Chain A
């Protein structure tokens, strides 16, 4: 999946259909559009409430050829519809020259195309997974539609997982004004810009990414630090000490923190039982005073790093660490020893952090990725949104 870079800051969104298609009944269109929005509510806390008039987050129109946004439609076939990312307003336009149909293999299925366009309205770009709803090509009518895992991961990386809290949809949010887009800001205190070495980084079960440094933590956006951070770790995770060595979130939704010879387990922000416990008890075969830990996207196993070595831990196996471990970190081509952090990020890539630099790892090639600018790259610029800091470690690139 791919993210455009903006998202709504509220999860209770409103919409209105200001221009209906000429060939379908309004009530049928209302129902299909509501169903298309519901696709994105299933796995997140997003809610979509229709309004007859007035300001809304997403405005929907069925128009033909040139319709005022400079991106004219082209008659039947070709471009079916387009939508704007949140930073550009979030509206969705459908080419009314198409033969929009409901529940039929004839023509173009309104529900599927609408659900796709609303993905853009929420901040998703096109995916290169052909089975994804967010793939750019219309695949014809799909009588048994189901949201692809790729799409679920995408929307949850922006709005978090569903927390099953009850959020009545007929309640209008206190303000229905469009949230203004605010450009990324440098962190309130820019110590992290002067010294961007971190203790650890991890992504929570809710899809939020955090950087820990000393007694403080930073919540990250897609390209910088969220407003209002850093905050104290002791406030964010009561009972958790400062100067954490390593952390990761496992597929059971729990986050594990490691420091010295001990570890803590949290469910969200709450300690999940009596901790700390000894690493030797809960993670047999894993050393203490770790450098980094992560769940690798390549196989879902837990990897621990210390000095020039790494261990693979499989909770389902006995023993959980095979006799062939530890192995040299040099197996991970291009990854240095003595890491600070390892992370499987929300875009599915694996990242390693050391000092003020970071490396993106290409899982399929099992080597540090090659890109422009090359890796390692300065963490300050790319993760903390620091200004006036280099975006590349390439010599002379200032």
Chain B
């Protein structure tokens, strides 16, 4: 499938990580992007890398962006913390 949504910039990665639950929803608004601190950003990338089975570097490296560019399901990978009770 052709990719109309390749991720090749930090901003695109921010929107991707927010869309799929690794960053707070506010990051989807370009006007507010970049407002979260470095620690949040690195841990979001690490969480995505861990979930996707990549090496956990915490860096937006080429392999990570390549995976972010794959066609995929639109449901979030992280389904909210409100139901963390279900993770007992």
Across-interface contacts of B5 in A (CB, < 8 A): 74-75, 77-79
Tell me, in angstroms, the Cα distance from A126 to B71 when the chains sit together: 15
User: Are B74 and A71 within 8 A (Cβ)?
Assistant: yes
Across-interface contacts of A126 in B (CB, < 8 A): 51, 73, 75-77
Known: A136-B72, A137-B67. A77 touches B85 (CB 8 A): no
User: Are A79 and B73 within 8 A (Cβ)?
Assistant: yes
1/0 contact string of A128-169 vs chain B (CB within 8 Å):
101000001110000000000000000000000000000000
Tell me, in angstroms, the Cα distance from A76 to B4 when the chains sit together: 6
Tell me, in angstroms, the Cα distance from A73 to B5 when the chains sit together: 11
The DSSP consensus for interface residues of chain A is loop
User: Are A138 and B75 within 8 A (Cβ)?
Assistant: no
Across-interface contacts of A385 in B (CB, < 8 A): 85
Tell me if B88 counts as interface (CB < 8 A to partner A).
Answer: yes
Task: Tell me how far the C-beta of A116 lies from the nearest C-beta in chain B, rounded to whole angstroms.
Answer: 6
Tell me if B42 counts as interface (CB < 8 A to partner A).
Answer: no
Known: A2-B79, A223-B85. A75 touches B71 (CB 8 A): no
User: Are A136 and B73 within 8 A (Cβ)?
Assistant: yes
Task: Tell me how far the C-beta of A211 lies from the nearest C-beta in chain B, rounded to whole angstroms.
Answer: 13
Partner of A138, one of B1, B53, B77, B86: B1
User: Are A117 and B83 within 8 A (Cβ)?
Assistant: no
User: Are B74 and A80 within 8 A (Cβ)?
Assistant: yes
Known: A223-B83, A345-B88, A360-B88. A76 touches B1 (CB 8 A): yes
Tell me if A3 counts as interface (CB < 8 A to partner B).
Answer: yes
Across-interface contacts of A2 in B (CB, < 8 A): 79
Tell me, in angstroms, the Cα distance from A391 to B81 when the chains sit together: 14
Task: Tell me how far the C-beta of A348 lies from the nearest C-beta in chain B, rounded to whole angstroms.
Answer: 12
Tell me, in angstroms, the Cα distance from A358 to B20 when the chains sit together: 31
User: Are A382 and B71 within 8 A (Cβ)?
Assistant: no
User: Are A108 and B75 within 8 A (Cβ)?
Assistant: no
Across-interface contacts of A99 in B (CB, < 8 A): 1
Across-interface contacts of A108 in B (CB, < 8 A): 1, 71
Known: A76-B1, A76-B2, A130-B53. A82 touches B86 (CB 8 A): no
Across-interface contacts of A347 in B (CB, < 8 A): 87-88
User: Are A223 and B86 within 8 A (Cβ)?
Assistant: yes
Across-interface contacts of B2 in A (CB, < 8 A): 76-77
Task: Tell me how far the C-beta of B80 lies from the nearest C-beta in chain A, rounded to whole angstroms.
Answer: 9
Task: Tell me how far the C-beta of A341 lies from the nearest C-beta in chain B, rounded to whole angstroms.
Answer: 13
113-133 of chain A: CB within 8 A of chain B: 113, 116-117, 120, 125-126, 128, 130
User: Are A107 and B1 within 8 A (Cβ)?
Assistant: yes
Across-interface contacts of A80 in B (CB, < 8 A): 1, 71-74
Partner of B88, one of A73, A107, A382: A382
Across-interface contacts of A117 in B (CB, < 8 A): 73
Tell me if A284 counts as interface (CB < 8 A to partner B).
Answer: no
Tell me if A233 counts as interface (CB < 8 A to partner B).
Answer: no
Across-interface contacts of B73 in A (CB, < 8 A): 79-83, 113, 116-117, 120, 126, 136, 138
296-322 of chain A: CB within 8 A of chain B: none
Partner of A137, one of B70, B74, B83, B86: B70
14-44 of chain B: CB within 8 A of chain A: 20
User: Are A81 and B88 within 8 A (Cβ)?
Assistant: no
Tell me if A44 counts as interface (CB < 8 A to partner B).
Answer: no
- Sample of 16 further A-B pairs with CB below 8 A, known A81-B74, A138-B71, A347-B87: A4-B83, A4-B86, A75-B4, A75-B5, A76-B1, A77-B1, A79-B74, A80-B72, A80-B74, A99-B1, A117-B73, A126-B76, A128-B51, A128-B52, A138-B72, A222-B86
